[in-house]
Structure 1
Amino acid sequence: MTADPTALEREIEETRERLAGTIDQLLHRASPKTIVGREVWTIKAHYVDVETGAPRTDNILKSVGVVAGVVAAFVLVRKLTS
């Protein structure tokens, strides 16, 4: 089977371009700046409703409760050990 060299060269060039685009996308997704941005957005979305912009008080109160519990535990342990 004989392939047209021009068609083969064109196909190779198209494949190279697709691979270059894929590599660029992977580099962008794996860059530290992009990763940090995604994580910040995820955390914000946990505390603020993305659609309305209203704070999610239930999640905020849960987090405050956890922090208060940890602080209380540290204070209690410190009093018991001193």
Structure 2
Amino acid sequence: MSENPSKQSVDQIEADITAARVRLAGTVDELHTRTAPQEIARRQVESLRTKLTAATHTESGDLRAERIAAVAAAAVALLGLAVARRRHR
């Protein structure tokens, strides 16, 4: 059976409060770490690397040359458009 809260000892109540403070401090520290700009940037870079690897490699780890060539061609085309647009101004 659980004890009636009014019958708990002062020491037990203080121990419960201390434990709650420790848990709360841990939660606050974790939230602070997760929301730090450096941590957010690190997670975004890691996500980008994972997506890039998935897009440019097969499941066995082989390079997908056709996808890399397509991306390179698209980049060259965009660069060409940007240069042409700049010259036109």
User: Which runs of no fewer than 5 residues in structure 2 stay unpaired?
Assistant: none
Identity over the aligned pairs, expressed in percent?
Answer: 27
Q: Which residue of 2 aligns with 1:77?
A: 85
Q: What TM-score does the superposition give when structure 1 sets the normalisation length?
A: 0.69
Q: CA RMSD in A?
A: 2.6
Which of 2, 7, 24 is 2:12 aligned to? 7
Q: Which residue of 2 aligns with 1:16?
A: 21
Relative distance call for 1:43 and 1:7 in structure 2 (3 A) is: same
Runs of 4+ in structure 1 over 3 Å off = 51-57, 60-63
Residue 10 (structure 1) shift: 1.0
User: Is contact 1:47-1:55 (8 Å) kept?
Assistant: no
Larger RCO of the pair (alpha carbons < 8 Å, separation 6+):
1
Q: What TM-score does the superposition give when structure 2 sets the normalisation length?
A: 0.65
Q: Which residue of 1 aligns with 2:51?
A: 46
User: Is contact 1:47-1:56 (8 Å) kept?
Assistant: no
Aligned residue pairs: how many?
79
Relative distance call for 1:40 and 1:61 in structure 2 (3 A) is: farther
Amino acid at match of 1:21: G
